[in-house]
Structures are given as C-alpha cells and as structure tokens.
C-alpha cells in the first residue's frame, strides 16, 4: 500500500492531522503517516515522499542499510530517542549551515529517518525540503531590517525560486515598521506601503519606498491601478483576509499575492479550503511563521 509521512510544523501537529483527515493511519509526534501518495499539506514542514519500513538487527546494521541507499540522512526523533541518535552518529555528518539569502537551496539528496520500533526503521530517501526537518534557517542581517519579519520573505523567495525585481511595483499592506519593504527594496522593486504606523527611518528614507498613512483595508482595489505584487502581513482574522483578497481578485489589477494568514483562535479547515481553492495558489507553513500560514498566488 502506498503511504506518505508528513513532518508537522512545530506546534501544529493537531492541525496537520485534521488537514490529512481519514487518510491518517499513525501519529508519532512530529510525524504523521497517511495512506496514498504525497499531497500538499499546509501544516507540514517536510514531506517524506518515498517512505519504507526497514527491519534492522542492530544500530550498526541500521546505519549500513541507510548508507546502502544513499549518503545523506537526517534523523527525526519520534521515539527511541537515544537509539536513533546512535544510528545518526554512525552516518556521514550532514552539516546544516545557515542558508544565505540570494543563493539557491542545497541540491544534494537528503533523506529522513526515524526509529519507528526498537528494531524497525522508517526512512525515506526523498523529501520535499532539502534541509533537515524542513527548517530553513538563514545567516541573519542584524543591522538593516527593522523587524524579524524580513525572514519570512527571505525564506519564501528562496523556496519559490522567484521574487520581485527592478521595475516591479509592490504594495506592502500593513507593513510597519518595514521588514518586508526592506527586503523588497533591496531587490530593486518599488514599494508602496500603507499602515497606520510609520516605517523605520532607514526604510522610510529608501528612495524606492513610498509610505502612506492609513488602513490597509481602506484602499479600494479599483483605485490602486496595475501592481505586480501585493503583500500583506496584517494581523486580522482569516475570514476578513479572505474577503479582502476576494475584492482584489475581482476588482484589482494584481496577479501575484503573498499574504500571511494569522490563525487566531481555533483553525477553520473549511475557510483554509477556500483559500486553497483559488486557482494558482498554495498555502504553506514557513519555518519563520508562527501560528500562521502563508498564502501565495503567482
């Protein structure tokens, strides 16, 4: 029987189980086993696309069998923690250096494994994310960005392999103090930011950034004109964000959207399905998201 293993994003195991529904056959935090081939799962940090159970006779035998498949493996503890760590110690070391924004993701195959039982490996030589545990960590800029929100865009653009550039016009809705505007302007894009609060001085003084005080929800899409990207990290309920997005899709002249969906209170799977149903879109959990998802439509 075909099955897939999903690695839940931190703190979102119950949401992932609910998202996968009746296909779930086993749960061992942070892993969820589900029937069928891999499918998009917003609450998964990583997905094991070729999983298999592998009997083992000893720690050395486990390492030998994994190395016979490929070189690089990352352990995901889900029980039998000490024994799993001993297996990892016998495998070639995988150096998870911080990613550098502007450089591509690693291309070397990286498998994932856990010790499902004392003498049974659960392992997949292929996963959807090329970094251990799906955790995208960057060498941070401690000087320029006025908030850590910039890391969301660094991660998203790196994972998508695309981003705004010179000549693009970006709307940054609710962008104070300017973490996202900082990133967009650094890429050469023009940024028009709307928020009730102002921008940090270094962002506000950037010639590529324009600021207008006001409510992000107050701008009529019909009056905005043609824009290349619309960004929003506004704190609001998901249903209000969905309605606002619908107005832009119906009335505005913008094709690319990047919106943070703040999961305030109990998660509503039906509402998330409405976001997913928008053609050309996807929902994903970034390593730099907290209790929230990122909606993307390119």
Q: What pLDDT is recorded for position 240?
A: 95
Domain boundaries, the chain: 3-134, 150-297
73-75 and 111-117 strand pairing? parallel
Statement: residue 264 has pLDDT above 90? no
Give the gyration radius of the chain's Cα atoms: 21
Of 46, 71, 69, the C-alpha closest to 56 is 69
Average per-residue pLDDT for the chain = 96
Cα dihedral 211, 217, 223, 226 in deg (nearest 10): 70
Distance of CA 119 to the CA centre of its chain: 33
Distance of CA 297 to the CA centre of its chain: 14
In angstroms, the CA 154 to CA 186 distance is: 11
Q: What is the pLDDT of residues 14-41, one digit of tens each?
A: 999 999 999 999 999 999 999 999 999 9
**The token pair that represents 57 in the structure block:** 């006779």
Pick the CATH number of 150-297 from 3.40.50.150, 3.40.50.300, 2.60.120.10, 3.10.310.50: 3.40.50.150
Q: What is the pLDDT of residues 164-196, one digit of tens each?
A: 999 999 999 999 999 999 999 999 999 999 999
In angstroms, the CA 84 to CA 74 distance is: 10
Stated as kind and residue range, the H or E segment containing 258 is strand 253-262
Q: What pLDDT is recorded for position 265?
A: 79
**Whether CATH 3.30.2130 fits 3-134:** yes
Q: What is the pLDDT of residues 118-135, one digit of tens each?
A: 999 999 999 999 999 999
Q: Are 181 and 199 in contact (CB under 8 A)?
A: yes
């Amino acid at each position: 029987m075909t099955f897939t293993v999903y690695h839940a994003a931190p703190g979102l195991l119950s949401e992932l189980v609910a998202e996968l529904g009746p296909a779930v056959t086993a749960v061992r935090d942070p892993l969820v086993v589900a029937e069928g081939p891999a499918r998009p799962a917003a609450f998964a940090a990583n997905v094991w696309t070729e999983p298999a159970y592998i009997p083992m006779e000893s720690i050395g035998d486990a390492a030998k069998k994994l190395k016979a498949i490929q070189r690089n493996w990352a352990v995901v503890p889900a029980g039998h923690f000490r024994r799993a760590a001993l297996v990892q110690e016998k495998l070639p070391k995988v150096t998870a250096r911080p990613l550098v924004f502007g450089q591509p993701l690693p291309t070397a195959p990286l498998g994932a494994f856990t010790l499902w039982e004392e003498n049974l490996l659960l392992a997949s030589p292929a996963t959807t994310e090329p970094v251990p545990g799906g955790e995208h960590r960057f060498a941070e800029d401690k000087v320029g960005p006025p908030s850590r929100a910039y890391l969301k865009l660094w991660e998203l653009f790196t994972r998508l392999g695309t981003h705004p550039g010179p000549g693009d016009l970006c709307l940054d809705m609710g962008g104070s103090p300017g973490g996202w505007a900082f990133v967009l302007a650094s890429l050469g894009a023009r940024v028009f930011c709307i928020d009730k609060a102002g921008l940090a001085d270094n962002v506000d003084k950037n010639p590529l950034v324009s600021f207008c005080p006001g409510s992000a929800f107050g701008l009529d899409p019909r009056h905005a004109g043609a824009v290349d990207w619309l960004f929003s990290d506004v704190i609001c309920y998901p249903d209000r964000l969905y309605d606002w997005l619908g107005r832009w899709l119906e009335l505005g002249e913008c094709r690319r959207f990047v919106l943070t969906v703040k999961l305030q209170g109990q998660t509503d799977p039906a509402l998330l399905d409405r976001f997913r149903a928008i053609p050309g879109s996807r929902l994903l959990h970034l390593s730099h998201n907290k209790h929230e998802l990122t909606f993307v439509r390119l």
